[in-house]
């Protein structure tokens, strides 16, 4: 695996060393890699000629500075895992490589309602920050396909919108959420949980599964109340739990029998904010 830290160097490497017809897959990450990230590398490896992974803890997407400061960094084991997975290029830029003119780029992405609900509502400015970093990374890497995890479903919707807004000719492949044995979605933030916390955190999965299994038997409000109860019993502080239309993210109060539904959740345990989601139907 080639490790490149400078945008110009990566750009030259991709333009010169790589035959143009080769298909490039790109996996943007913030590091502290786990099997969820590696599954994206594997998907890209199986479908593309060349796989580029980036590790960049993007300061502009953290609305809470202490969350940024506490974000886990495990670069040596990240490199080992990427080598093992057969990743071709790791791009490891500094903040100034991504924001050469300073972090306030002055660019505003018209994300519409997506920015006002769920993660957008609870983390003001978060998706603008995500778009700034990923837009710049896309311009440097110019991938054919972007590999993203279902784990960050709203982020996937935001990045689809970014690609539309900028008329980029890039496909998006969304890959299933990889989970621990107890159902907890793998996340870099899980490193901050105690062993007991990791066990309790599986309640998120159980709440989602309950909604999925009982969706046709109970009304959404009842399902949501059951899920909230389960999370509260396990010591969570809840930002949101909602059954939503998978295309619009509008809450589903009465199911019309056809619309695709996804349950979205964000909640704190041991001061750590966890998010998850599940396709319900």
Of 36 and 220, which CB lies nearer to ligand AMP in the complex structure?
A: 36
Angle 101-102-105 from CA coordinates, rounded to 5°: 80
Does the annotation count 226 as an active-site position? no
Name the active-site residue from 34, 37, 206, 226: 37
**Which letter, b or e, does each residue of 86-111 get, where b requires 16 or more Cβ atoms within 10 Å of its Cβ?**
ebbbbbbbeeebbbeeeeebeeebeb
Contact present, 135 and 106 (Cβ < 8 Å): no
What distance in Å separates the CA atoms of residue 222 and residue 186, rounded to the nearest whole number?
28
Of 155 and 220, which CB lies nearer to ligand AMP in the complex structure?
A: 155
Rule CB under 6 A: which of 152-181 touch ligand AMP? 152, 175, 177-178
Of 29 and 81, which CB lies nearer to ligand AMP in the complex structure?
A: 29
Instruction: Among 14, 186, 249, 267, indicate the residue that binds ligand AMP (CB under 6 A).
Output: 186
Instruction: Among 7, 30, 140, 204, indicate the residue that binds ligand AMP (CB under 6 A).
Output: 30
Smallest gap from Cβ 175 to ligand AMP, in A, equals 6
Q: Within its chain, how far is the Cα of 20 from the centroid? A: 29
Question: Judged by CB under 6 A, does residue 277 bind ligand AMP?
Answer: no
Instruction: Among 24, 37, 123, 132, indicate the residue that binds ligand AMP (CB under 6 A).
Output: 37
For the record, the structure tokens of 8 come out as 């110009």
Instruction: Among 10, 24, 36, 266, indicate the residue that binds ligand AMP (CB under 6 A).
Output: 36
Smallest gap from Cβ 214 to ligand AMP, in A, equals 24
Of 177 and 220, which CB lies nearer to ligand AMP in the complex structure?
A: 177
Please tell me whether residue 34 adopts helix, strand or coil conformation.
Answer: coil
DSSP secondary structure code for residue 145 in this structure:
E
Rule CB under 6 A: which of 187-206 touch ligand AMP? 187-188
Contact present, 277 and 263 (Cβ < 8 Å): yes
Tokens 């909230």 -> residue: 228
What distance in Å separates the CA atoms of residue 55 and residue 87, rounded to the nearest whole number?
13
Concatenate the DSSP letters of all residues of 5-17 into one string.
--HHHHHHIIIII
Of 135 and 152, which CB lies nearer to ligand AMP in the complex structure?
A: 152
Smallest gap from Cβ 137 to ligand AMP, in A, equals 12
Smallest gap from Cβ 155 to ligand AMP, in A, equals 6
For the record, the structure tokens of 183 come out as 């159902």
Smallest gap from Cβ 25 to ligand AMP, in A, equals 12
Size of the site for ligand AMP (CB under 6 A): 17
What distance in Å separates the CA atoms of residue 89 and residue 199, rounded to the nearest whole number?
35
Phi-psi category of residue 24: left, alpha or beta, with phi > 0 → left and psi -120 to 50 → alpha: beta
Smallest gap from Cβ 244 to ligand AMP, in A, equals 18
Work out the burial of residue 258: count CB atoms within 10 Å of its CB; fewer than 13 is exposed, 13-18 middle, 19 or more buried.
Answer: exposed
Build a one-symbol-per-residue string for 109-148: x at contacts with ligand AMP by CB under 6 A, - elsewhere: ---------------------------------------x
Residues that bind ligand AMP (CB under 6 A): 29-30, 36-37, 39-40, 148-149, 151-152, 175, 177-178, 185-188
Active site residues per annotation: 37
């Amino acid at each position: 695996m080639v490790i490149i830290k400078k945008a110009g160097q990566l750009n030259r490497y991709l333009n010169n060393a790589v035959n143009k017809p080769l298909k490039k897959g790109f996996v943007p990450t913030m590091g502290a890699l786990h099997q969820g990230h590696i599954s994206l590398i594997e998907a890209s490896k199986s479908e593309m000629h060349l796989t580029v992974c980036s590790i960049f803890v993007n300061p502009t997407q953290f609305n809470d500075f202490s969350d940024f400061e506490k974000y886990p960094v495990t670069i040596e084991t990240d490199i080992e895992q990427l080598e093992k997975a057969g990743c071709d290029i790791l791009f490891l830029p500094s903040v100034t490589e991504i924001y050469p003119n300073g972090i306030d780029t002055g660019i505003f992405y018209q994300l519409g309602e997506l920015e006002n609900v769920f993660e957008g509502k609870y983390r003001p400015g978060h998706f603008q920050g995500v778009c700034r970093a990923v837009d710049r990374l896309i311009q440097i890497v110019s991938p054919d396909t972007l590999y993203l995890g279902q784990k960050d479903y709203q982020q996937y919707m935001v990045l689809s919108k970014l690609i539309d807004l900028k008329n980029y000719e890039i496909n998006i492949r969304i890959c299933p959420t990889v989970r621990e044995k107890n159902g907890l979605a793998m996340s870099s933030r899980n490193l901050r949980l105690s062993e007991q916390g990791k066990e309790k955190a599986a309640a998120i999965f159980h709440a989602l599964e309950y909604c999925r299994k009982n969706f046709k038997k109970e009304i959404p409000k009842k399902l949501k109340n059951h899920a909230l109860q389960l999370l509260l019993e396990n010591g969570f502080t809840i930002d949101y739990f909602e059954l939503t239309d998978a295309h619009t993210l509008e809450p589903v109060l009465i199911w019309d029998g056809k619309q695709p539904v996804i349950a979205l959740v964000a909640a704190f345990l041991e001061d750590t904010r966890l998010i998850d989601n599940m396709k319900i139907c």
